[in-house]
Amino acid sequence: MEISSLVTLAMWAAIVVVALIFLRVSNIFRYIPNNQVGIVEKMWAAKGSIKSGFIALHGEAGFEPEILRGGVHVFFPFTYRIHRSDLVTVGQGKIAYVFARDGEPLGASQVLAANDTEEKSDFQDARKFLMNGGQKGPQRKILREGTYAINTTQFAIITNERVYGHALSAQEQSVLDSMKQTIADRKGFTPVILAADQDLVGIVTVHDGPSLPPGEIIAPEVGTDLRAADTFHNNFQETEKFLKAGGFRGRLVHQPIICNRRICSQVGYPGRQCRRGDLLHRTEDRRRLRRTIPSRRARREWQPRRLARPDATGKIRI
């Protein structure tokens, strides 16, 4: 009697162990912590694999655009694999950059992907982004301070601390690390603030948009009318509005605060000092400088009256 009881107990124990192993291997139940998101990978489907692109938008096998938030989730057995990814956190006073791995290709003259509609600028909804013509590659829109639930298989996020990305190849990781280093060299993870007591003039070089007409040195001001909500870019902080207003790529005289440093690089020039090649020669450019910088002293200190030979530091001193 005792032997039969032990056999029965052992059989039940074996059944429980097999059931637990089945539940674990089949991925029926998966728990996602509240400080992470779940990235869903469909292992097989009746529709087969993806024909083009990177994200499965129509029920094919592959990575799905939707993510899972914290909690317990139930799935059909042996169909899905769930990958955990950290929530994207951008620190106080910092800027993060977005790189889309799937989407429409960039245009022939584009440097950064357009985010000119709400659908193309919503990085927390990968399906909406892809279904509405979102472009792959580095994006014009930046992320400000906060925490974001983003599908890091579709969007790689570059912050000053790390690169958020899932299923990155060695080549992709190398490219993103190189982008991170370039942005860090430009001090692009922090806002640029030109304080009045520093006596600085902001020089912005825009790297995207139509080229300047022949003979022009300084790009004209656009999007400065506060009443025009569609084109007022607020010191280059809204890239799409700047381009919509007719902004050119090239050099401008302004005082920017926060912008995507992959589309505009910024330098603050102190009084009576300027780099070689930054001189203004044409009357029209001088007039444009006068309109941009109302202070006569600031104009005189930024714009040299005569050419001089650069010194050992590569700067021209007047």
Which residue stretches of the chain are H helix?
2-26, 126-131, 170-185, 239-244, 283-292, 296-302
Q: pLDDT averaged over the chain?
A: 80
- Provide, rounded to the nearest whole percent, the portion of the chain with pLDDT above 90: 40
Q: CB–CB of 192/95 below 8 Å?
A: no
Q: CB–CB of 274/296 below 8 Å?
A: no
Q: CB–CB of 97/155 below 8 Å?
A: no
Alpha-carbon distances of 77 from 63, 70, 80, 107, rounded to whole Å = 17, 20, 7, 43
Which segment of 11-25, 94-108, 111-125 scores lowest on mean pLDDT?
11-25
What is the residue whose two structure tokens read 């003039």? 201
How does pLDDT run across 41-100, given as a tens digit for each residue?
Answer: 999 998 888 888 889 999 899 999 999 999 999 998 889 999 999 999 999 989 999 999
How does pLDDT run across 12-56, given as a tens digit for each residue?
Answer: 888 888 888 877 777 888 899 999 999 999 999 988 888 888 899
Q: CB–CB of 268/201 below 8 Å?
A: yes
- The residue-averaged pLDDT of 219-232 equals 85
How does pLDDT run across 127-176, given as a tens digit for each residue?
Answer: 999 999 999 999 999 999 999 999 999 999 999 999 999 988 899 999 99
Residue with the bigger pLDDT between 265 and 224: it is: 224
pTM of the predicted protein model: 0.74
- The residue-averaged pLDDT of 194-210 equals 72
Tell me the Cα Rg of the chain: 27
Residue 175, token pair as written in the block: 């490219």
